[in-house]
Amino acid sequence: ILIVDDDDSVRDVISVLLREEGYNCVVANGAEMALDVAGEEETPLVISDMKMPGRDGLWLLENLRERLPDTSVIMLTGYGDTESAVDCLRRGAVDYLLKPPKLTDLIRAIERALAKRRIEMARKRYQKKLEGKVRDRTAELRSALHNIANTYQNTLLALVAALDAREHETSDHSQRVVSYTSAIASRMGIHGKQMEEIGRGALLHDIGKIGVPDAVLLKPGKLTPDEWLEMRRHPEIGFQMIQNIPFLSTPADIVLSHQERFDGAGYPRNLQRNEIHIGARIFAVADTLDAMTSDRPYRKGTTFANAIQEIKRCANTQFDPDVVKAFLDIGEEGLIRIKKEMAEKKLNPMQAAADAAEAETELARLTDLDDEPDHTPVGPSSAATATALATPPVAIRSASGTEG
């Protein structure tokens, strides 16, 4: 016990009495000396006079609270100064006694203070142990979420691969559309979870074609009016397939709306302007760009310059003008670079695998943030992951909005 008082006789009397009671005591004649002693010694309890020359007991209390928060403090005060003593209690002292204290009152105050300190120390040890367990469980939960994220991603890519195999398409259309869509969305200030959901919607946009009969989907010639009606059901089929999967609820809206037009002339619901999900409005531009610049069995793809001009011409009719503006900001070179990078990753599977690993590392980093933990799994907006794991379907769409 550290006894602090500028009066030698008071210090001596209290220290002698407490030693007789079995306590080990050290003394200090001022607040600054007391702070130094408390810092050097293991001092569970300090008994300090309230008023001392220079630094007073209140200064000592505040510094002990800040530097040695596990040290308990009992304040000694003279008659007429009880208001200051009560203020000390508000500031963290465990008790106060009037000078000169009675031995029985002093011993009881010491026992109460030490008992309270033991309880507080035990609480802190328990809290620390509990925090350790929480960290361990959190790490296990992150691992589980990571595995679930991989399962989600692989499931999405398996669905796309199934459609690809059915349509005999090997052009990486879906992955490129995801990359174009993500680039435009980024230019529009879209990031995080919203970007992930838009990426998933872009990847799954034609998943409803699984429900279109082969005779219609794979027909080499021109479709009849009835066959066009059947083909136009694929957005609704895709929506019905995935709408009840919780993490695909927003992508489902994009799938349902991906054939809508800004002027309301699209299908299946003739939505217009902001009635169309922003992800679908962005996708419409990305999809048209890829359809126009990709080779098809019945025609050669056009140049990026021509496709850009056509999309620009169709702003306010087929496309959202704000989306077109963001698209134009990327520039022809930027769009060509996206396609080139996709092709290089397809030719370099080791690099694609490395990019996928990098995406997983980014997922781990994001789960460490905490604030909107964003435990959102890395979604199809990661073009590298999509490239490494699946071959996409193709959607043939012209700037005029027709498809087949």
* pLDDT attached to residue 20: 87
Residue 19 dihedral angles phi and psi, to the nearest 5°: -65, -40
| Residue 92 one-letter amino acid | G
Closest among 51, 66, 65, 75 to 2, alpha carbons compared: 75
Does residue 203 register a pLDDT over 70? Answer: yes
User: How do residues 343-380 score in pLDDT, each as one tens digit?
Assistant: 776 555 455 455 545 545 554 554 555 444 444 443 33
* pLDDT attached to residue 184: 92
Residue limits of CATH 3.40.50.2300 in the chain: 2-122
Q: Would you state the torsion angle of the CA atoms of residues 59, 61, 64, 66, taken in this order, to the nearest 10 degrees?
A: -80
* pLDDT attached to residue 321: 92
**Token pair recorded at residue 250:** 């927003």
The top-level CATH class assigned to 2-122 is: alpha beta
At residue 98, the 3 state secondary structure works out as strand
DSSP class of residue 55?
Answer: S
* pLDDT attached to residue 153: 67
Instruction: Please name the fold of domain 168-364.
Output: Hypothetical protein af1432 (1.10.3210)
Work out the number of other CB atoms within 10 angstroms of the CB of residue 380: 29
Instruction: Give the Cα-Cα-Cα angle 32, 34, 36 (nearest 5 degrees).
Output: 75
Q: How far is CA 132 from CA 129, 229, 242, in A?
A: 5, 60, 39
Does pTM surpass 0.75?
no
Higher pLDDT, 98 or 315: 315
Residue limits of CATH 1.10.3210.10 in the chain: 168-364
d(CA 291, CA 294): 6
The dihedral through the CA atoms of 13, 16, 21, 26 has a sign that is positive
Asked if 202 and 279 touch (Cβ cutoff 8 Å), the reply is yes
* pLDDT attached to residue 165: 57
Instruction: Give the Cα-Cα-Cα angle 121, 124, 127 (nearest 5 degrees).
Output: 155
The dihedral through the CA atoms of 312, 282, 235, 215 has a sign that is positive
The dihedral through the CA atoms of 155, 159, 165, 170 has a sign that is negative
User: How do residues 40-60 score in pLDDT, each as one tens digit?
Assistant: 877 899 998 888 888 888 888
- β partners of residue 403: 397
* pLDDT attached to residue 376: 41
Q: Is 361 exposed, middle or buried (0-12, 13-18, 19+ CB in 10 A)?
A: exposed
Sheet strands side by side (includes 72-77): 26-28, 2-4, 45-49, 72-77, 95-98
* pLDDT attached to residue 226: 86
